[in-house]
Amino acid sequence: MVSFLIRRVAILVPMAFTISALIFFASRLSPIDPINAMVPPDMASDSANLEQLREELGLNDNIILQYFHWLKNIATGDFGYSLQSGEKISDILALRMPATLELVLSALILSTLLALTLGLFAGAKKGGVADKLSRVLGVIGIAIPDFFIGLALLNVFAFRVEWLPTGNRVAPGQVTLWDRLPNLILPVSTLTIAMLAVLIRYTRNSVLDTLNRDFVKTARSKGVPEWRVLYSHVFRNSLGPVMVLLAFRLPLLVGGSILVETVFQWPGIGTTIIAAVTASDYPVIMVVSMIIAMVILVASFLVDIIKSILDPRVRLGGGN
Amino acid sequence: MSLSTEKDLILDLKSVNVKFKVEDDTLHILRDVSLSIPRGSFLCVVGESGCGKSVTAQAIVQLLPDNGEISSGEILFSQGNQVVELNQLEKFGKQMRGVRGAKIGMIFQDTLSSLNPAHKVGRQVAESLLQHLPISKGEARTRVIELFRKLGIPDPERRYEAYPHEFSGGMRQRVMIAIATICEPDLVIADEPTTALDVTIQAQIMTLLKDLQKSAGKTFILITHNMALVSEVADHVAVMYLGRVVEYGTVEQVLRDPRHPYTKALMASVPDLDADKNVELQTVDGQTPSPAEVTVGCEFAGRCPYVIAACKEKTIEMTQVNPGHDVRCVRLDENGKLPILASGALHE
């Protein structure tokens, strides 16, 4: 197990470097000059000023040098400044990250709990109530895009019956989470429904697959009661693919959901990305991309750990 | 609802019919299967793939796939001095579960897929024990290790903690045998237990099963398509063809003196070391028909060299050719013999 972990961590390092290089050089390949985004149009004609700014920002240095410089800054937590607002990127993140975390984490937990419960019951009793409910939810979630679900919910609950606010998170610190709860309900519901669909289907199908495996017959041939067969033999062996799907959703925690955040004017990372992209705010785009990529790396690492815990055969893979 | 009194039968199948729903069709997989199994005997059920051997085993313990059901017949199981009609019990009810594992043990063919990959093997064996007996986990562990040792699993304490994929095929089959026998069941049903193993391991496993039968006085039902195994271990043989038992008798009766044309053909297809190498090995001509085809009369008629019009007219009944030797064929004469074929389609 230890050597498995070491091998797995060793792969992470070169991968992280490759990704950082890709992000950096891709942004440098763009034909849009970041200087144009910084300088007001009336000053843009003064090429001497622009040249001076370039020099100060280090944009005239060797590109390899620039890369390592950027990497060093990122690694030491110095994310630089937004070209658009001039704010420190770390300040922007500190302000926006909690909003996204609050939204995505709630939706992730809710959808997981719901999907696992429904999916397990749906698979265990094909054609039962849970199965029917999960099929309806599955079709809705897969067929209807999340922003549309969001708009529909907004239309009904915020505009027609006016039970809930239209979203728009109240600034943290001003009020307690309890007071912000009404603002959370609609965006969280939207994201939950969107995430639920695939997860339910995955869980249900995985349970059905496992039920058909021979060891379930063996368990039954021992006279083990059905609930124990399900709990001890079926569910654990069904969780693998579901956990993988879940782990790959972790990056949403830092990336946010662009569409849902936009629909509900949620001041999270998703809306930050949109703003940064429209304004060609490269430092912000690069930092956010880098953070999301790193979380994806960690998530895939987690996936392997989870798999190896659930299925001891995974630990084999060479060595050991 | 009582077992025949002349012999001490442990299991008595009376005209068991099993049907499977496949899409819109209903397939009649077992047709009037009747088998009387004396306590302490070793019965081999033989036949080609798809003849219903495994379904018979699954029907006995009520572990048919979801789309299959016992449509009629009785499965009588003698439990002490009580006779239980297994097919009347609720599939996953307490009584049926009390029989599975505790009174009837099951051994399956593919050991890798039949063991839970996520659980340690010791735990999988102990599960059976803990389910049926009021003992502690520690006691269960001791008994499992003891049985592992008896079954020839080396280093049983360490192996208790290992996962199925860390075992060889033969060792895994020993684990399966441990699962099936740990609760000391009266009857053990082994569904092609050696098919996935190589020949030397096959022999070891068969010896193990035979020893268990002799020493513990257990009754065994071995399902196999390997005729060579049958002569080594069985005392009774049932030959099945397309969902029907076509011949039943002691191993001497069936193997030395086969009466049904299908059994004859099956025996002629077994390679023999002493045989003349220039004589080509016999095969059974044609394919097993699909159970979806509705046939009237003998199911084997389409491939049978002895076929006459009477074979296809109505369902053929079992006739006794010798005490304890039953054959389902209309071509037998008053001495229970098949007519001699002019063309010699079957070498004898």
Q: Is residue B9 over pLDDT 70?
A: yes
Distance from first CA to last CA of chain B, Å, rounded? 43
Q: What is the pLDDT of residue A55?
A: 78
Question: Across the interface, do A224 and B118 touch by the CB < 8 Å criterion?
Answer: no
Nearest CA among B186, B189, B183, B173 for reference residue B216: B186
β-pair type (B25-38, B9-22)? antiparallel
Q: What is the pLDDT of residue A167?
A: 65
Q: Is residue B3 over pLDDT 60?
A: no
Interface with chain A: mutation pick from B60, B104, B127, highest number of A CBs within 10 Å? B127
d(CA A306, CA A239): 10
Residue with tokens 């063919």: B109
Distance from first CA to last CA of chain A, Å, rounded? 8
Nearest CA among B293, B295, B337, B244 for reference residue B47: B244
> In chain A, whose CA is at the least distance from the CA of B117?
A311
Prediction pTM value = 0.79
**Mean pLDDT along residues B206-224:** 89
β-pair type (B68-79, B42-46)? unpaired
Q: What is the pLDDT of residue A44?
A: 63
Question: Across the interface, do A237 and B163 touch by the CB < 8 Å criterion?
Answer: no
To the nearest whole Å, the CA of A150 is away from the closest chain B CA by 40
Considering only CB atoms, A214 lies closest to which of B98, B113, B124, namely B113
**Mean pLDDT along residues B18-47:** 91
Q: Please report residues of B whose CB lies closer than 8 A to that of A220.
A: 63, 92, 100
Percentage of residues in chain B with pLDDT exceeding 70? 94
Q: Is residue B348 over pLDDT 80?
A: no
- Cα–Cα distances in angstroms (integers) from residue B242 to residues B54, B113, B280, B287, in the given order: 12, 27, 26, 11
Question: Across the interface, do A223 and B117 touch by the CB < 8 Å criterion?
Answer: no
Q: What is the pLDDT of residue B294?
A: 67
Residue with tokens 């060891």: A215
Q: Is residue B343 over pLDDT 60?
A: no
Q: What is the pLDDT of residue B135?
A: 93
**Mean pLDDT along residues B195-221:** 87
Q: Are B194 and B226 in contact (CB under 8 A)?
A: yes
B41 vs A320, residue with greater confidence: B41
Exposed e or buried b per residue across B140-171, where buried means at least 16 C-beta atoms within 10 angstroms of its C-beta: bbebbbebbebbebeebeebbebbbeebebbb
Q: What is the pLDDT of residues B145-196, one digit of tens each?
A: 999 998 989 999 999 999 999 999 889 999 999 999 999 999 999 998 888 7
Low-confidence ranges of chain A (pLDDT < 50): 318-320
Q: Please report residues of A whose CB lies closer than 8 A to that of B176.
A: 218
Q: Which of A250-259, B215-224, B322-331 has the lowest mean pLDDT?
A: A250-259
Q: What is the pLDDT of residues B280-296, one digit of tens each?
A: 777 777 777 777 776 78
**Mean pLDDT along residues B239-265:** 92
Sheet with B319-322, strands from edge to edge, namely B104-107, B187-191, B219-224, B42-46, B236-241, B244-250, B325-327, B319-322
Q: What is the pLDDT of residues A246-293, one digit of tens each?
A: 888 888 888 878 888 888 888 888 889 999 988 888 889 999 999 999
Each as own residue / partner, the long-range contacts of residues B12-15 (CB below 8 Å, 24 or more positions apart, any chain) are B12/B36, B12/B37, B12/B74, B12/B75, B12/B76, B12/B78, B13/B56, B13/B60, B13/B73, B13/B74, B13/B75, B13/B76, B14/B73, B14/B74, B14/B75, B14/B76, B15/B72, B15/B73, B15/B74
Q: What ipTM is given for this predicted complex?
A: 0.87
d(CA B228, CA B203): 11
Burial class of residue B303 in the structure, from the number of CB atoms within 10 Å of its CB (0-12 exposed, 13-18 middle, 19+ buried): middle
Q: Which residues of B touch A (CB under 8 A)?
A: 61, 63, 92, 97-102, 105-106, 108, 110, 113-119, 124, 127-128, 131-132, 163, 165, 176, 179-180
Question: Across the interface, do A218 and B118 touch by the CB < 8 Å criterion?
Answer: no
Nearest CA among B246, B243, B271 for reference residue B258: B246
Considering only CB atoms, B114 lies closest to which of A215, A232, A236, namely A215
User: At A124, which amino acid appears?
Assistant: A
Sheet with B25-38, strands from edge to edge, namely B25-38, B9-22, B68-79, B82-85
Dihedral over Cα of A54, A60, A64, A66: its sign = negative
Q: What is the pLDDT of residue B189?
A: 95
Q: Is residue B43 over pLDDT 80?
A: yes
d(CA B224, CA B44): 7
Q: Are B299 and B307 in contact (CB under 8 A)?
A: no
Question: Across the interface, do B116 and A316 touch by the CB < 8 Å criterion?
Answer: no
State the pLDDT confidence band at B248, using cuts at 50, 70 and 90: very high
Q: What is the pLDDT of residues B66-85, one digit of tens each?
A: 899 999 999 999 987 889 99
Q: Is residue B244 over pLDDT 50?
A: yes
Nearest CA among B166, B162, B153 for reference residue B204: B153
